[in-house]
Amino acid sequence: MKLHPVANLLVQRIALGLLLLLAVSVLIFAGTQLLPGDVAQAILGQSATPQALANLREQLGLNDPAHVRYFRWLGGVLQGDLGKALSNGQDIASAMGGRLWNTMFLAFWAAVISVPLAIMLGLIAVRYQGRWPDKVISAVTLSTISLPEFVVGYIAMFLLAVKYRVFTSVSMVYDGMSFGDRIHAIALPVLVLVLVVLAHMMRMTRAAILNVMQSAYVETAELKGLRPFTIIARHAFPNAIAPIVNVVMLNLAYLVVGVVVVEVVFVYPGMGQFLVDHVAKRDIPVVQACGLVFAAVYIGLNMLADVISILSNPRLRHPK
């Protein structure tokens, strides 16, 4: 049975995403195995006896061939078992659950602010193309995108937490915290993430709409006497949605995956801080699990961007 073009493309994108995730899992496992040093030595310390090291290596399965350890790890992942942390023996999935929720909470509020703001600023920049609003918006967004996240974070921390004491410099959240207190605690890292991703989305929105503005139907709308902003919002923007969706989803993926630096700067108890802490402890199973979760989120959001782009293409929805 022949599939509809849209269904065919969706199946291809999903299959490609799953194959890519499998390839990434191989790279993550291989990369952690190539790290210098001895895991058993790092756990037991320099004073460990050779017999104790040999026993621990046998217990952890470190004497098995690499491909055996990989398939054992992958089999556990497919069953929802991410293993146990070497540093404290806790179940990784359980320990990671709260951290992942914190990261998603942070990314969600950054997205809620940055996506509508980026689209609105892009529409304003197109409406006043070449005039002072367009130049101001472009200059500010280019300035924020040119600075690394930790620089923006420390500047925001100095101004809003140290000098004026509007927010706290340490974004600590915990169970039982009220919603208002939690929002106040994450205000600074959310601000930094918004400033970092805003420029990408705004400039892509501006470029995509300007490209559509050259179309004949836009000229027809202008000849009808419609207001410039109405033409942009109702006629140009809907037809430029595909590239805008792509860049928005890419930046949403960055909000989840690229929060490591921001979480470390503000000591936020999310996945990024969790990963850095266990890299310092050389806790390989935790590093592998965090890397796989980050990869799955990034690939999943990119797949979603492809799906939305396909569904927003009228030539695919209504083939001749």
| 139 pLDDT more than 80 | yes
Task: Find residue 91's DSSP bridge partners.
Answer: 84
Task: Find residue 106's DSSP bridge partners.
Answer: none
* Sign of CA pseudo-dihedral 177, 271, 191, 204: negative
User: How many domains does the structure of the chain reveal?
Assistant: 1
Mean pLDDT of 263-275: 88
How deeply is 138 buried, as exposed, middle or buried, from its count of CB atoms within 10 A (0-12, 13-18, 19+)? middle
User: Does a structural domain hold residue 246?
Assistant: yes
| 1 pLDDT more than 60 | no
User: Does a structural domain hold residue 235?
Assistant: yes
The larger pLDDT score, comparing residue 222 to residue 118, is at: 118
| 182 pLDDT more than 80 | yes
Q: What is the pLDDT of residues 24-33, one digit of tens each?
A: 999 988 887 7
| 188 pLDDT more than 60 | yes
What pLDDT is attached to residue 317? 58
What pLDDT is attached to residue 303? 83
| 147 pLDDT more than 70 | yes
What pLDDT is attached to residue 316? 56
User: Does a structural domain hold residue 221?
Assistant: yes
User: Does a structural domain hold residue 277?
Assistant: yes
Lowest mean pLDDT among 91-95, 113-117, 245-249: 245-249
User: Does a structural domain hold residue 14?
Assistant: no
User: Does a structural domain hold residue 18?
Assistant: no
Mean pLDDT of 164-191: 87
What pLDDT is attached to residue 19? 92
| 318 pLDDT more than 60 | no
User: Does a structural domain hold residue 211?
Assistant: yes
Q: Convert 50-80 to b/e letters by CB count within 10 Å (16 or more is b).
A: eeebeebbeebebeeeeeebbeebeebbeee
What pLDDT is attached to residue 38? 66
User: Does a structural domain hold residue 198?
Assistant: yes
Q: Residues of the chain with pLDDT > 90: what percent?
A: 6
Instruction: Give the number of other Cβ atoms within 10 Å of residue 33's Cβ.
Output: 14
Q: List C-alpha distances in Å: 165 to 151, 157, 159, 169.
A: 19, 9, 8, 9
What pLDDT is attached to residue 109? 92
What pLDDT is attached to residue 313? 62
Supply the DSSP string of the chain, one letter for each residue: -PPPHHHHHHHHHHHHHHHHHHHHHHHHHHHHHTSSS-HHHHHH-TT--HHHHHHHHHHHTTTS-HHHHHHHHHHHHHTT---B-TTT--BHHHHHHHHHHHHHHHHHHHHHHHHHHHHHHHHHHHHTTTSHHHHHHHHHHHHHHHS-HHHHHHHHHIIIIIIS-SS-SS----TT--HHHHHHHTHHHHHHHHHHHHHHHHHHHHHHHHHHTTSHHHHHHHHTT--HHHHIIIIIHHHTHHHHHHHHHHHHHHHHHTTHHHHHHTT--SHHHHHHHHHHTT-HHHHHHHHHHHHHHHHHHHHHHHHHHHHT-HHHHS--
Average pLDDT, the chain: 82
What pLDDT is attached to residue 79? 86
Q: Which domain holds residue 243?
A: 93-283
The larger pLDDT score, comparing residue 51 to residue 153, is at: 153
Lowest mean pLDDT among 18-32, 58-72, 136-150, 292-306: 58-72
Q: What is the pLDDT of residues 271-294, one digit of tens each?
A: 888 888 888 777 888 888 888 988
Confidence band, pLDDT 50/70/90 cuts, at residue 14: confident
| 76 pLDDT more than 80 | yes
CATH number assigned to the domain comprising residue 165: 1.10.3720.10
Lowest mean pLDDT among 34-43, 97-106, 168-177, 204-213: 34-43
Residue count of the chain, please give it.
320
Confidence band, pLDDT 50/70/90 cuts, at residue 189: very high
The larger pLDDT score, comparing residue 235 to residue 261, is at: 261
Half-sphere exposure of 93 (CA within 13 A, CB side): 8
What pLDDT is attached to residue 285? 85
| 320 pLDDT more than 70 | no
The larger pLDDT score, comparing residue 108 to residue 313, is at: 108
